[in-house]
Every structure is written in C-alpha cells, then in structure tokens.
Amino acid sequence: MADLGIPQNTIEVLQKYHFRAQKKYGQNFLVDPGVLERIVDAAGITDADCVLEIGPGIGTMTQYLAERAGRVVAVEIDKNLMPILEDTLSAYANVTLVNDDILKVDIGRIVEEENGGRPVKVVANLPYYITTPIIMGLFESHVPLESITVMVQKEVAERMQVGPGTKDYGALSLAVQYYAKPEIVANVPPNCFIPRPGVGSAVIRLTRYQEPPVKVEDEARLFELIRAAFNQRRKTLVNALGNAAGIGVAKEQVAEALKRLHLPETVRGEALTLEQFALLAGELQ
C-alpha cells in the first residue's frame, strides 16, 4: 500500500477519486512522514493499544497508527471519504471505520466494544474550527482515556499549556489543565499539508490525570465560575462574577470570598491559578 505521507501519493489518491478538500470540514491532509512518525512516537503507540482516531481523512495517519497499534477505530464525518478509506486501508485488518460525527457518537460504547472498557489513546489531526468542543467533549464525557495527541492550530496549543498572567491564558487553559498534563511535542509549518492552511500548527499531547490536581465538590460549578471570569476578562472578578447571569452570587459575596483567600478585591480572573479558582468555588459554595 502506497505511503500517503509522501505528497505525490496523496495527490494521486485525491485525483483518482476526484476528491476536493472540503472547507466546511476543515480538511488539510498531512504530507510529511517525519511529522507523522513524531505524532505516533509522541502518543507512545504500541501493539497493546487501541487508538481512537478522529478525522482520518484519506487514511494517512491511520496507516502509520495501524502499523504500530493493536487496534485503530477511525471516526470520519465525511461520507465521501469512506470509499477512499476502504481503499487506502484495505491492507490493515486491525482498522475499524466509523462514518459519524465524533461529537454525536457514543465513545463509551466504542471503548467498551473495541477495547473491553480499557483506556484508549486518542490521536487526531483536528479541524481547527472545532478543536475545543472535541477535546472538551472527550474529557467531560469521562470515557476511559489514557492520552490525547492532536495536531491543532499553533496558538490553540499554546493556549492549552500557558499559566496565569499571560494574554493567552483563559478558560481553555484551565479546563485542559484540570483534566490533563499538556505538552507541545512538535511545531508543524503550513507546507506540511495539502491544501496548505493559512496558519502554523502544533502537535500537543494531553496526558490524562488519574485524579484532577485540585479537589472540588462540584466540577460543573468550577467551570461556570471560570467561564464567567473570562467572559469579561478585563473586569475584576468581583464585577465579572457579580454581573454574570446564572452564577447567582452578589458582588459582596465575591469580595468576601477573595478576602478570605487573601486576594485583593481588584484581582482579575487571568491572575488566578487553577488551585485558586478551586478554592474560590469552595468559598462560594
């Protein structure tokens, strides 16, 4: 089977099927064997693993995963890609194709059926417009995951791993860092894709924590407060939380809680660590 990591082979497949990349699905096909190897290495794939691949495209990364993994389940939303995938992956008996939307599919059932309920590793070259909903959906559904290794827009990868006091720090940083340890493993320039995207990309590995690094009574409440704090990030926490619909706390309560945590009344959400947000959620409980 032709290695789709080689640009010429990808072009041949696209021409054979008269396939044009769909903007609405954010389709950019990775054509760089070195980057593909790095992704599979970073994800630590072995023959003991079951891999869930999101958006296999024409099967480029799927081929690399199938060479190393015990099983690969590839979920592709675009039905026009299914005949191509059946062709490019015909040599691999360990690949299962699913034509569905990853945001709607029952991942828990896939993990149960394909891996006996044991944790899977997720690997994906994610469409940029839907990166956050996919990653948060995987974490919030609490399906058994060992790690998520994904290609995303470079600035989104940076946002996932920064700490307080930086302009990129926000609700996404805190949410990711609550569930996993983020680490950027490679930067990938636009010329590694067909068609070329307008921005640089990065591969980030999110290693799932067994237990979150902070203890909270109500996880949903913690993220409500975080979102409210960053919805109006230029405002102080007292104003951002006190004005937020649905939070149900008065400005005075926020000011009191901050005082008990030895934080100034003028503090903004972008200055607080995950641990401080967890303590604040406890004080406002």
Q: How much is the average pLDDT of 28-44? A: 95
Query: According to the model, what pLDDT value does residue 20 have?
Result: 81
| Residue ranges of domains in the chain | 7-208, 219-283
Contacts of 54 by beta carbon, 8 Å cutoff, 6+ apart: 75, 102, 122, 123, 124, 126, 134, 150
In angstroms, the CA 95 to CA 50 distance is 10
Contacts of 60 by beta carbon, 8 Å cutoff, 6+ apart: 4, 5, 10, 29, 30, 31, 36
Encoded tokens for 225:
């407060």
For residue 25, pLDDT over 80 is answered with no
The separation between the first and the last C-alpha atoms of the chain, rounded to the nearest angstrom, is 58
Domain 7-208, CATH homologous superfamily name and number:
Vaccinia Virus protein VP39 (3.40.50.150)
Identity at 78, one-letter amino acid code: D
For residue 225, pLDDT over 90 is answered with yes
pLDDT single digits (tens) 104-148: 999 999 999 999 999 999 999 988 888 999 999 999 988 999 999
CA atoms within 13 A on the CB side of 146: 18
Encoded tokens for 244:
């937020």
In angstroms, the CA 1 to CA 70 distance is 19
Query: According to the model, what pLDDT value does residue 30 have?
Result: 93
In angstroms, the CA 157 to CA 170 distance is 12
pLDDT single digits (tens) 188-208: 999 999 989 889 999 999 999
pLDDT single digits (tens) 93-103: 999 999 999 99
Q: Which CATH architecture has domain 219-283?
A: Orthogonal Bundle (1.10)
Q: Is the peptide bond before 197 cis (omega within 30 degrees of 0)?
A: no
Burial, 232: exposed, middle or buried (Cβ in 10 Å; 0-12, 13-18, 19+)?
middle
Please, which pLDDT band fits residue 77 given cuts at 50, 70 and 90?
A: very high
